[in-house]
Amino acid sequence: MTMMTHTERRLRFRAILDGTRCVAPASVFDPISARIAEDIGFETAMMAGSVASMTVLGAPDLIVLTLSEFADQTRRIGRASSIPLLVDADHGYGNALNVKRTVEELENAGVAALTIEDTDLPLPQGGATRLISIEEGIGKMKAALAGRSDPALIVAGRTSAPMVSGLDDTIARAKAYAACGVDAVFLVGLRTRAELDAIAAAVDIPLFLGGGGDELGDSPYLAQRHVRIVLQGHLPFAASVQALQTTMKALYDGQHPADIKGGASAELMKLVTRDVDYRRWIKDFLGGK
């Protein structure tokens, strides 16, 4: 098992940004899911803040996860796999000073790329989603870039303006964040080609999409509009939860383990745990056979 350095992973991610294709990352949540994504052939992976919260805390996406807990999970993934990892760093866990600290911690944890968003988080009194001002958003983007020590690390400014404040505000925020020097703009809530066409015409840096409407499912079209990353949701984690619930329920109901289908084979378990490597290390370092 030969691991790439953190910078090598970041340069691989940058190659996607510098290319002409639209790439869908694997949604991962722990070391084994990242290894599976890498073994299958995904070029990059994504860990969302929502999935991290569910994986680490068993809690919904309400920003109750801390920076240290999030960084620890990304570090575990990076230790087990060389797949370049994009992470959702939410609002940077506070104000602009916290954003700078967040970038420092996540860079040290080995991520290839991260997003900082302009949503007012945690949810304010009243529970309605709202955005911080563009001025505060600019401060966060500048702080994120100041927190970066490896120039290969990708910093993307993220906004939910398409579904909160409309197209004009989305373009204004995207242009402002691009002017700060971020490497990409991540758009959440975009629904139509007309919206994407307008944004792509106004912003000359790569775009990421957090999913989108039916009109935005055409990868060649997205690539022509400078979209380099498009998310596909987080079905792998949801599928793993369903598999666990189904299997545990069957066992609880008295089914014999041998009669329950869907478990990973011994061969797959050895692959995802890198059994061959560990057997070799036993021989090399412990004198085993």
Q: Where, residue-wise, is CATH 3.20.20.60 in the chain?
A: 6-234
Q: Which fold has domain 6-234?
A: TIM Barrel (3.20.20)
For residue range 163-174, what is the model confidence (pLDDT) as tens digits?
999 999 999 999
87 strand-pairing partners:
47, 114
Segment 157-213, tens digit of pLDDT: 999 999 999 999 999 999 999 999 999 999 999 999 999 999 999 999 999 999 777
Residue 162: predicted pLDDT: 96
User: What confidence score (pLDDT) does residue 126 get?
Assistant: 87
- CA distance linking residue 60 with residue 117, whole number of Å: 18
Residue-level pLDDT at 240: 97
User: Which tens digit of pLDDT belongs to each residue from 114-156?
Assistant: 999 999 999 888 888 999 999 999 999 999 999 999 999 999 9
Rounded to whole angstroms, the Cα distance separating 134 from 1 reads 45
- Mean pLDDT across the chain: 96
For the chain, the residue count is: 289
Q: DSSP readout, 3-26?
A: PPPHHHHHHHHHHHHHSS--B--E
Would you place residue 1 in the very low, low, confident or very high pLDDT band (cuts 50, 70, 90)?
low
